[in-house]
Structure 1
Amino acid sequence: MKSNESKSSLEQERSRHSLTKIEEIQTKYRYCAKEYAEYVERLPANILMNGLGQALAQLLAASKRSSKNSPQDSSTEQEKLNKESPYYLLYRHLEEWLCEKNEYSPYYQTKEEYEDDKEIELLQALIRHDQRHYQLAQIEALQWLEWHKKLAITYLKAMDPEESTERDSHE
């Protein structure tokens, strides 16, 4: 009975964290809400086909590519991560769940271990830990993404980035 309670609790934590991130996209990053939702939809299949590490590396690479289209396009800026891109936001949301918020994750509280590169601590954790940790993290990522995909489709997919919400107009 205890395991069902903790499983239910973990499911609730996944959904709560996911909803918080969806609300963040709705309020702070509405310009990329639809693109974010589309990538959330594709990420589970990408993880299953290529593995969690490859899928995360693709998110970071796409984030760098999206920075090339930014107005401050210089040779040094091209190699930096675009922290406003939907790809980087999704990477950070998954990283936050696996490294900071989920105490059952194999990478929980690894932030201090990777002082050298805070921007990609989840990828560093995947590389530096064993295969068992990797597999557990991949399973947990897919379980979190179940919630995230449903919520992204529901709240973000049809969202118009130009349209202000009723709440925005009253503030």
Structure 2
Amino acid sequence: MGTKVQRVGIENGRAAFAFQEVKQAKEGLKENFENYRSYVKKMPSLIQVNGLGQALAFCFQKKGREYRSIYRSIAKWMKEQFPGQFGKEDMELVEVVVNLSSADYRLWTMETLALLDWMRKFADGMVKDDAEAAK
């Protein structure tokens, strides 16, 4: 029973974090929020096809603010969840990911996909809110 309560707490924390990140992205990106939403929706496929490391490297190298915003959100969440993995010098997310063990890599992939699922839901909701407000 304790495990189930803990899982709900983790999921709620992830949802609250995702909501705040998407809300900040919407405020910061304004007219580019639709692109952000599209990219958030594409990220799980990128991860599943290419792997977490490749997908994060793709986001890291992109010049657009939308992908960089997604990357920063994932990095921020992972630093909260796994602070010991980032070392004393506050390593870059992609640097940490490419040095993970296979077991940790799978765990981080699942955690990132779970976060992106919440981000997608909130981004969809915020776009729909805008569409309804425009009517």
**Could you state the TM-score of these two structures normalised by the residue count of structure 1?**
0.70
1:7-48 CA-partner distances (Å, limit 9, x unpaired) = 100110010000000110122221321111000000001111
Matched, 1:55 2:30: no
Structure 2 residue matching 1:42: 3-state secondary structure: helix
CA shift for structure 1 position 111: 4.0
Q: Please list every run of 5 or more consecutive structure 1 residues that lacks an aligned counterpart in the other structure.
A: 67-84, 161-171
Equivalences for residues 1-171 of structure 1 within 5 A = 1-63=1-63, 66=64, 85-100=65-80, 102=81, 107-115=82-90, 121-156=92-127, 159=130
Q: 1:50 to 1:147 in 2, by over 3 A?
A: same
Aligned length: 132
How far apart are the structure 1 equivalents of 2:106 and 2:127? 29
1:70-108: CA deviation from partner (whole Å, max 9, x where unpaired) = xxxxxxxxxxxxxxx1111100001111112x3xxxx33
Q: Are the structure 2 counterparts of residues 86 and 133 from structure 1 closer, same or farther at C-alpha, using a change threshold of 3 Å?
A: same
Alpha carbons 2:74, 2:112 under 8 Å: kept: yes
Given the two structures, how large is their TM-score scaled by the length of structure 2? 0.87
Matched position secondary structure for 1:129: coil
1:132, distance to aligned residue in structure 2 (A): 1.3
Q: Is the 8 A contact 1:34 1:158 kept in 2?
A: no
The one-letter amino acid paired with 1:136 is L
User: In 1, distance between residues paired with 2:127 and 2:88?
Assistant: 34
Taking only aligned residues, the RMSD between alpha carbons, in angstroms, comes to: 2.1
Q: 1:123 to 1:113 in 2, by over 3 A?
A: farther
Residue aligned with 2:62, SS: helix
* Cα distance, 1:153 vs structure 2: 1.2
- Kept after mapping to 2: 8 A contact 1:22/1:156: no
- Alignment check: 8 A CA contact 1:34 1:159 kept: no
CA distance in 2, matches of 1:156, 1:55: 24
1:112 to partner: Cα distance: 4.0
Task: Decide whether the 8 Å contact of 1:43 with 1:55 is kept in 2.
Answer: yes
* 2:40 maps to amino acid: V
Structure 2: any 5+ residue segments left out of the alignment? none
Counterpart contact for 1:37–1:157, Cα < 8 Å? no
Structure holding more helix per residue: 2
Q: Is the 8 A contact 1:22 1:151 kept in 2?
A: yes
Q: Percent identity?
A: 24
Name which one, 1 or 2, has greater alpha-carbon Rg. Answer: 1
